[in-house]
């Protein structure tokens, strides 16, 4: 190579590095992690005293899961957790968001705790910390104990909110010496709508709107009571917040009027949960729209729901709405999605990287939230090993690069996002989709339990290493 060519190459490399450092770097100390949930990976549903969950029953009903599978074994993480912690370490990730199975700790949902169940998570925590990985624990990721469902009718009863708080306090007292960040409930929006509205998730109900709104209120109350229990039982420095798949409203064109409209739409379309948590009330517009279908509640309920939190977790996958300024006195107008709007391998997962910018920005601006985590982001892809045994999931890399670019846009403008958890560490049981959809950085052969890194694992490893979009 001539000196001139070498100099040009050096200049190009330096220029690229400077561009990356100035345009695409994340704040120093930004936490990079991955995420999973208990029911989707653990398996061992009948081992060491674990009780049944509503998902155990639901998956064994004919026709509920697309590929007719169950999570009885799933990723066998219960027996392979040490191997899986090494997968996180190989990525260079320093944080891991996982969930604790309520029926593993309390087989009947309340009453006598199961020591062997909690011991599994104690061993998992020890393994994570021994490998330099900070644990972030979610207390509820949809695996409600069947005993709670049978005794109280699940989230249709406020008794479930109280039982959840008792469980939250018990667990927090025993893990907060090593876990400093605790999420209460994962995705109220989906667990309510899919579990009690459309019925595609457990417990598989199709309730009228008034009952759906009441269920949502009980989940919100469960969050608030759990926050109080975590405060009462947690060690000093324990931080707590929700992890919600909020309705993400994006200005179709970034004009001041459309941005204001998108902010208003975000507040109102999240009024049943996130807005209530952060404002301590149901908005007038929400109650007026609900009318006779509004939930029953007390002032003390709202006070509990608004128990002070330390951060907000947001699960960001796609734009829920594109918004423009309204007319004739309407504060906003929602634009329809064309039938040809692009999506990823999952039909529901519409592509819209700017969701990753607007979601945390709206949360920070609307409610003055000072600490935000992206608790889930990722995509399904048609991942199958090539002839050489490798998985070249370039569509996932495309998705992640574009979404992370928008996240970096947010952090560069001072939006207080402190960390990002990619969904998911490895392919797993994807609820009603069974094993048909793959979201992982690691491909899993569910017959052999072989974990194989995909090309996206190399991409994410480089992102973490450089603390920048690559």
**Residue 155: both structure tokens together:** 């989230």
Q: What one-character-per-residue DSSP string does 82-120 give?
A: HHHHHHHHHHT--EEEEE--HHHHSTTSSSS--HHHHHH
Q: Is the dihedral of CA 261, 262, 267, 271 positive or negative?
A: positive
- CA distances to 63, 89, 92, 121, 136 from 133, rounded to whole Å, are 39, 7, 9, 14, 10
Are the beta carbons of 250 and 322 closer than 8 angstroms? yes
Respond yes or no: is residue 376 known to be catalytic. yes
Q: Is the dihedral of CA 359, 364, 367, 370 positive or negative?
A: positive
**Residue 143: both structure tokens together:** 């695996």
Q: Where are the alpha helices (DSSP H) in 209-283?
A: 209-233, 256-269, 274-279
Task: Please report, in angstroms and rounded to a whole number, the separation of the first and last CA atoms in the chain.
Answer: 27
Q: What one-character-per-residue DSSP string does 14-66 give?
A: HHHHHHHHHHSBPPTT-EEEEE--HHHH---TTSTTPPPBHHHHHHTSTTSST
Respond yes or no: is residue 462 known to be catalytic. no
| Nearest C-alpha neighbor of 155 from the set 170, 145, 168 | 145
Nearby residues of 257 by Cβ (< 8 Å), 6 or more positions away: 325
Q: What one-character-per-residue DSSP string does 375-391 give?
A: EEE---B-----TTS-B
Query: Residues comprising the binding site for substrate?
Result: 40, 141, 186, 317, 423, 430-431
Catalytic residue, candidates 134, 263, 354, 376 = 376
Half-sphere exposure at residue 61, Cβ-oriented, CA atoms within 13 angstroms: 13
Query: Residues comprising the binding site?
Result: 40, 141, 186, 317, 423, 430-431
Nearby residues of 327 by Cβ (< 8 Å), 6 or more positions away: 333
In three-state secondary structure terms, 351 is coil
Q: Where are the alpha helices (DSSP H) in 112-199?
A: 115-130, 146-152, 158-175, 188-192
Angle at 116 between CA 112 and CA 118, to 5 degrees: 80
Catalytic residue, candidates 134, 187, 244, 268 = 187
Among all residues, which ones are annotated catalytic?
187, 376
């Amino acid at each position: 190579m001539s000196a001139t060519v070498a100099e040009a190459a050096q200049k190009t490399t330096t220029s690229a590095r400077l561009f990356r450092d100035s345009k695409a770097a994340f704040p120093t100390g930004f936490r990079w992690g991955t995420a999973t949930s208990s029911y989707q990976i653990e398996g061992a549903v009948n081992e060491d005293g674990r009780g049944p969950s509503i998902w155990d029953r639901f998956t064994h009903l004919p026709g509920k899961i697309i590929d007719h599978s169950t999570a009885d074994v799933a990723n066998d993480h219960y027996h392979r957790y040490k191997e899986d912690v090494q997968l996180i370490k190989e990525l260079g990730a320093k944080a891991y968001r996982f969930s604790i199975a309520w029926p593993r700790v309390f087989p009947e949902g309340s009453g006598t705790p199961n020591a062997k169940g909690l011991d599994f998570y104690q061993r998992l925590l020890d393994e994570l910390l021994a490998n330099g990985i900070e644990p972030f624990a979610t207390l509820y990721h949809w695996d409600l104990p069947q005993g709670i469902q049978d005794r109280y009718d699940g989230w249709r009863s406020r008794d479930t909110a109280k039982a959840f708080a008792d469980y939250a306090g018990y667990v927090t007292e025993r893990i907060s010496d090593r876990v400093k960040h605790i999420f209460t409930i994962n995705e109220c929006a989906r667990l309510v709508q899919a579990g009690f509205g459309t019925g595609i998730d457990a417990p598989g109900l199709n309730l009228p709107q008034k009952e759906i709104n009441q269920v949502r209120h009980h989940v919100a109350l469960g969050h608030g009571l759990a926050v109080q229990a975590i405060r009462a039982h947690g060690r000093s420095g324990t931080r707590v917040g929700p992890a919600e798949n909020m309705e993400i409203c994006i200005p179709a064109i970034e004009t001041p009027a459309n941005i204001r409209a998108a902010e208003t739409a975000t507040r109102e379309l999240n009024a049943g949960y996130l807005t209530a948590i952060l404002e301590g009330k149901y908005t007038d517009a929400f109650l007026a729209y609900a009318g006779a279908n509004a939930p029953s509640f007390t002032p003390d309920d709202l006070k509990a729901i608004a128990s002070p939190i330390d951060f907000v977790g947001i699960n960001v996958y796609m734009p829920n709405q594109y918004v423009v300024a309204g007319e004739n006195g309407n504060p906003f107008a929602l634009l329809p999605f064309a039938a040809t709007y692009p999506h990823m391998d999952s039909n529901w997962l519409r592509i819209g990287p700017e969701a990753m910018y607007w979601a945390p920005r709206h949360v920070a601006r609307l409610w003055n939230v000072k600490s935000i985590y992206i608790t889930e982001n990722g995509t399904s892809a048609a991942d199958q090993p090539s002839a050489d045994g490798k998985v070249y999931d370039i569509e996932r890399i495309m998705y992640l690069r574009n979404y992370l670019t928008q996240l970096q846009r947010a952090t560069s403008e001072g939006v207080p996002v402190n960390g990002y958890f990619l969904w998911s560490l490895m392919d797993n049981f994807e609820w009603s989709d069974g094993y048909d959809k793959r979201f992982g950085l690691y491909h899993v052969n569910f017959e052999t339990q072989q974990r194989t890194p995909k090309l996206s694992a190399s991409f994410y490893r480089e992102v973490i290493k450089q603390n920048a979009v690559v």
